[in-house]
Chains A and B, each alone.
Chain A
């Protein structure tokens, strides 16, 4: 069974030779390769080389073609500040709450910011791994992208003060999300993960999620699958218990769950949805391999009868994680047959 076959079987709750394991390793790949982060984040070639090296080092089941959460907003004109050891931050937002969102047009992805580089990284990774290792892309979900475009506080206030304008912003963000995800699929990803951490119930009320985000996410996943994505993968963090039960009707086939969501809650709400999680990311930096091994084995035992489980951290593995902790995560999956 190769990595892609293992993932595909896991999504369908079928028998596998062992449970799949995903980092998820994003910028840590640069750290592992000794690359300054800002160089990795601006070069598709460096991203692909570092991700290939990280895969060869750890042997996990999924590789990720992802720079950072500011790629989309940069493509819309945001000014970023790049740093050697951390992800870039937004110096100047792309849009403001006063923007006429109905007049916005999608950028040309062949020229917009770092998107061409990211798509080149996807092509190189797919050329390397073909259909042996899943190559996952990543796009921001509509609400998350809205927050990146005008700032989170502005987005939240806009939703309340000017619902019409907010809807316009969200519609544009949805359009962007779909187009960018499809561009990633065309470039070679097996699926674009939808990263929507800002839509967590810790940020917006459940009714808000149900009213505004749920229908848009549903159309995003529908379009991705129509374009060839092998599954719909939703990545949210924080305490998402109150919205888990919505996921099947959104078209989610894989749902990330964070350390603060107990496995029982996930099993109860998502009977037939594959899940990935949920070791504390910080444990990979400040814990020991023994800590990770213990947490991983508990999770594997927890999900052994249910199946439909991908062992991973609850969110991105920190940039400066200890490699031996990531190896402990992978080893736990390899030893669990």
Chain B
């Protein structure tokens, strides 16, 4: 594994930034750095983070390292436009545990998605209003406590009611994972953030063909 990939995977943001500066000085383009180093590092982390081997600290550190690299490659005002579709994410009302949602946001952003984050303790009306206004191709909801289950169940009917039946709903998080996608009335129940990203990748690719 080359230097930058290793530092990103190890979550060492200082070394990752030092290495990316060295690559830039050598004349490597931002696009080349992302496709040759960052994306393979995240793929490698994704492959490692199976249901049996997921570790929040490692994912958070790698995510932080990637964000630092991206800020080095693209100073404020020069960020590239997202290359994939729009996803609206939220942790629903009653639940203030948003680490899972934040990780999903980081992973999706790194992978080229445009992410609108409705935050934690988000009323379902606010989520649906955002969806009506922004027209994403998917919604991601994360839940650590069981009291959000009834709210998650309402999302699809509310999308139907608002004539947005094609928007996919992906759920994840410790409490929601105990349920089935049928009980939650969602399109996909993700074991972790990477599984959620894989699902969204598949949907996005399908929608482009």
Tell me the A residues contacting B by CB distance below 8 Å: 83, 85-87, 89-90, 152-153, 156-157, 159-160, 201-205, 208, 237-239, 259, 280-283, 285-286, 318-320
The 26 listed contacts between A and B (C-beta, < 8 Å) are A83-B94, A85-B147, A86-B94, A87-B145, A152-B99, A153-B99, A156-B60, A156-B61, A157-B60, A160-B57, A202-B55, A204-B56, A205-B58, A238-B174, A239-B52, A282-B149, A282-B175, A282-B178, A282-B179, A285-B146, A285-B149, A286-B149, A286-B179, A319-B146, A319-B147, A320-B147
Shortest distance in angstroms between A307's beta carbon and chain B's nearest beta carbon? 28
Nearest A-chain residue to B179, judged by Cβ: A282
Beyond A201-B55, A238-B174, A282-B175, list 19 extra A-B contacts (CB 8 Å). Answer: A85-B94, A86-B145, A90-B96, A152-B99, A157-B61, A159-B57, A160-B61, A202-B54, A204-B55, A204-B57, A205-B55, A205-B57, A280-B178, A281-B146, A282-B149, A282-B179, A318-B147, A320-B146, A320-B147
Within 8 A of A (CB), among B44-58: 52, 54-58
The minimal Cβ–Cβ distance linking B106 to chain A, given in whole angstroms, is 12
User: A238 to B56, alpha carbons, bound, how many Å?
Assistant: 12
B11 CB-CB contact with A under 8 Å? yes
Chain B, residue nearest A89 (CB): B96
Q: Considering the complex of A and B, which 7 residue pairs feature the smallest CB-CB distances, nearest first?
A: A282-B178, A89-B96, A203-B56, A318-B146, A280-B178, A156-B57, A204-B57
Contacts of B114 in A (CB 8 A): none
Whether B64 lies near A157 (C-beta < 8 A) is: yes
Report yes or no: B147 in contact with A202, Cβ–Cβ below 8 A. Answer: no
- Bound Cα distance A319, B145 (Å): 10
B183 within 8 A of A: yes
Q: How large is the interface on B (under 10, 10 to 19, 20 to 34, 35 or more residues)?
A: 20 to 34
* A156-B146 contact, Cβ under 8 Å, with A238-B174, A282-B175, A286-B183: no
B98 to chain A, nearest CB (A): 9
The secondary-structure label for the interface of chain A is loop
Report B146 CB to chain A, min CB distance, Å.
5
Residue of B whose beta carbon sits closest to that of A321? B146
A153 touching B55 by the CB < 8 A rule? no
Q: Are B178 and A259 in contact (CB under 8 A)?
A: yes
Within 8 A of A (CB), among B70-105: 94, 96, 99, 102
Bound-state CA distance A173–B134 (Å) is 45
**Chain A residues near B57 (CB-CB < 8 A):** 156, 159-160, 203-205, 208
Contacts of A320 in B (CB 8 A): 146-147
The CB with the most chain A CB atoms within 10 A, among B52, B61, B99, B146, is that of B146
